[in-house]
Amino acid sequence: MSIPEIRRIPVWPGSLRIIHWLISLCLTVLLATGGLLPYAPTLADLLLDLHYPAGHILAGALLARLYFFVTDRGVGGWRSLWPASLKRDSVVAMMRFYLSGGRTPLPGWYAHNPLWAPLYGLLWALLVWATVTAFLGKTDFHAVLAAPIGTLVLAHVVTALLHDWRGEGSDISAMVSGYRIFVLRPLDATKASPAVSLENLRKTSRSNPQPTTRRQ
């Protein structure tokens, strides 16, 4: 039996990681303060003093993210959400993984989860819509968007934790260091459908001398 090769490869650039954590922090504040506002009227001034600045910072972070979304031809661009290598069997394997609670094999991917990729686009669209309605003073529309945004954010956090717990990668720490762990096996050694090929990872590794290789 062949020994799998483990590689630590840079995937997420620093600019995207900073934007990701800014959006995460702002959303935490916005969802918490916005959710408490109807139930704690005596704290309205304090909650709004936190809510408004967080909303302005979120707007700036979204503008920066949209810039990369349009101009970046790498993992930050719109093409990465609709990769040419995306296969239906990878999406099905992801659904099996979630429905089984992580007991089935987790398929491989390079940057974006093959099932979540279009959902990220949906989340960003909802965030832009929520930001626009807030600036236009459309409070009713703005409040309605909190539920789908909160649901997607919670699902994203839970599934990322499940990936790290049951998978072999490092999705959560990758958003801190920028590096992901890839366990490379021969294609016929697993029933999972990898979304990134061994050759592509080798090309990435050769183009950047920093990744480290170790054997298990």
pLDDT along the chain (216 residues), means of 10: 79 96 97 94 95 97 95 90 70 91 87 88 94 92 94 95 87 92 66 47 46 38
* 181 falls within a domain: no
What per-residue confidence (pLDDT) applies to 208?
Answer: 45
pLDDT at 209: 41
pLDDT at 85: 53
pLDDT (tens digit per residue) in 104-137: 988 888 888 888 988 998 999 999 999 999 999 8
Number of domains in the chain: 1
User: What DSSP assignment string belongs to 171-197?
Assistant: HHHHHHHSEEEEEE--GGG-SS--SS-
Domain hosting residue 156, numbered range: 14-166
The CATH number of whichever domain residue 104 belongs to comes to 1.20.950.20
Does residue 28 lie in a domain region?
A: yes
